[in-house]
């Protein structure tokens, strides 16, 4: 993956087809990263790839050459175990050399199984235990509003993470404070580390819950790049109105999307593909773009 990111005042030079290509390349890169690590989160990364690529190549105002630019958009990856899906994108955009990907989780590497913002340029949140990201995002959004910045704060969560009480405390705060510069995205892949979310602790209907907490809510196909970009555009139009509330996108996805023999399987939240399974997985991933043409 190699590309030159556009200037901050023209951040969206990529077509839907080009972003789809980036999604394929990202999945292939994740398989290579996990081959280095010996284990990885195929299910929860592959469910979120189109969310990641549509944000980085189609929405976020960022400057890879100036990672700490004060008015950049912030992305908080609350489901931090999916960071292996963002590392290839950051490398592609020029935040750090692509060679770093070959060291994923190795001793001394900058790239851990959860991101460390002190080590990885482009990350605004050091993830670990789930459930913290929305509170951090609300604090960032409030601070940016107080300083008069036009930057936007995006928080990506998992649906299993909705079991965490801190999510709802932060959600209540953001809704009450009408943090319209905040966009939440829930990757609803119906799988958590403990099994199917419906069996562990069913939080549906999520949309009704978030509306009750003062958020505007949209549901979207989390693998449809055009639909995601359109949803981001509607959010932008709403946030331009003074006093707008925050927006929550409920992105319906498939765990392990793109690899037919692990799709939707809770057993593949964490796992390791090797040998002929890797070849089969790469063929499946490549066929995604052929089907979408």
Q: What is the mean pLDDT of residues 239-268?
A: 92
Q: Residue 23: how many CA atoms within 13 Å on its side-chain side?
A: 31
The yes-or-no verdict on residue 215 having pLDDT over 60 is: yes
Domain total of the chain? 1
Phi, psi torsion values for 154, nearest 5 degrees: -110, 130
Q: Is 197 helix (H, G, I), strand (E, B) or coil?
A: helix
The fraction of the chain above a pLDDT of 90, given in percent, is 71
Decide if 2 is inside a domain: no
Decide if 10 is inside a domain: no
Q: Is 78 helix (H, G, I), strand (E, B) or coil?
A: coil
The parent domain of residue 49 ranges over: 16-292
Confidence class of residue 108 from pLDDT cuts 50, 70 and 90?
Answer: confident
pLDDT of 233 reads 95
Angle (nearest 5°) at CA 8 between 99 and 252: 70
Average model confidence (pLDDT) across the chain: 90
pLDDT of 127 reads 86
Decide if 3 is inside a domain: no
The yes-or-no verdict on residue 8 having pLDDT over 90 is: no
Q: Find all residues with CB under 8 Å of 198, minimum gap 6, and list them.
A: 190, 204
Q: What is the mean pLDDT of residues 182-193?
A: 94
Distances in whole angstroms, Cα of residue 215 to Cα of each of 86, 218, 224, 236: 27, 10, 23, 14
Would you give the distance in Å from CA 227 to the centre of its chain?
A: 16
- Of the candidates 114, 113, 157, which has an alpha carbon nearest to the alpha carbon of residue 138? 157
pLDDT of 293 reads 56
- Of the candidates 168, 156, 177, which has an alpha carbon nearest to the alpha carbon of residue 85? 156
Confidence class of residue 171 from pLDDT cuts 50, 70 and 90?
Answer: very high
Decide if 54 is inside a domain: yes
How far apart are alpha carbons 89 and 143 in whole angstroms? Answer: 27
pLDDT of 2 reads 43
Decide if 20 is inside a domain: yes
Q: What is the CATH number of the domain that holds 69?
A: 3.40.50.970
Pinpoint the alpha helices (H) of the chain.
Answer: 16-37, 42-46, 49-58, 87-93, 133-146, 165-176, 197-201, 206-212, 225-239, 276-292
pLDDT of 38 reads 86
Q: Find all residues with CB under 8 Å of 214, minimum gap 6, and list them.
A: 172, 174, 175, 176, 178, 245, 246
pTM (predicted TM-score): 0.92
Q: Is 229 helix (H, G, I), strand (E, B) or coil?
A: helix
Q: Token digits for 21?
A: 């290509």
Determine contact, residues 273/31, Cβ cutoff 8 Å.
yes
Decide if 63 is inside a domain: yes
pLDDT of 39 reads 83
Q: Token digits for 225?
A: 């790049």
Decide if 171 is inside a domain: yes
Decide if 267 is inside a domain: yes
Determine contact, residues 252/219, Cβ cutoff 8 Å.
yes
Residues facing residue 182 across a β-bridge: 153
Neighbours of 227 (CB within 10 A): 18
């Amino acid at each position: 993956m190699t590309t030159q990111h556009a200037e901050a005042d023209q951040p969206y030079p990529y077509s839907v087809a080009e972003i789809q290509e980036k999604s394929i390349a990202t999945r292939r890169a994740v398989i290579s990263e996990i081959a280095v690590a010996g284990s990885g989160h195929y299910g929860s990364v592959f469910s979120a790839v189109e969310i990641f690529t549509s944000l980085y190549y189609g929405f976020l105002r960022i400057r890879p050459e100036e990672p700490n630019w004060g008015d950049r958009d912030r992305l908080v990856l609350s489901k931090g175990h999916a960071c292996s899906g963002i590392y290839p994108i950051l490398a592609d955009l020029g935040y750090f050399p692509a060679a770093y990907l070959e060291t994923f989780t190795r001793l001394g590497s900058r790239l851990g199984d959860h991101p460390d913002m002190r080590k990885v340029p482009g990350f605004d949140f050091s993830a670990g235990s789930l459930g913290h990201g929305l509170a951090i995002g609300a604090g960032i959004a409030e601070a940016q509003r107080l300083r008069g910045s036009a930057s936007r704060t995006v928080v990506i969560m998992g649906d299993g993470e909705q079991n965490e009480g801190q999510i709802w405390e932060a959600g209540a705060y953001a809704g009450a404070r009408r943090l319209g510069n905040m966009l939440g995205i829930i990757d609803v892949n119906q799988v958590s580390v403990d099994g199917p979310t419906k069996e562990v602790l069913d939080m549906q209907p999520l949309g009704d819950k978030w509306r009750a907490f003062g958020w505007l809510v949209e549901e979207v196909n989390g693998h449809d790049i055009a639909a995601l970009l359109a949803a981001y555009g509607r959010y932008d139009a709403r946030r331009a109105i003074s006093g707008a509330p925050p927006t929550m996108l409920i992105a319906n996805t498939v765990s392990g999307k793109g690899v037919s023999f692990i799709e939707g399987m809770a057993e593949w939240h964490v796992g390791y593909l090797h040998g002929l399974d890797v070849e089969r997985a790469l063929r499946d991933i490549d066929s995604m773009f052929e089907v979408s043409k």
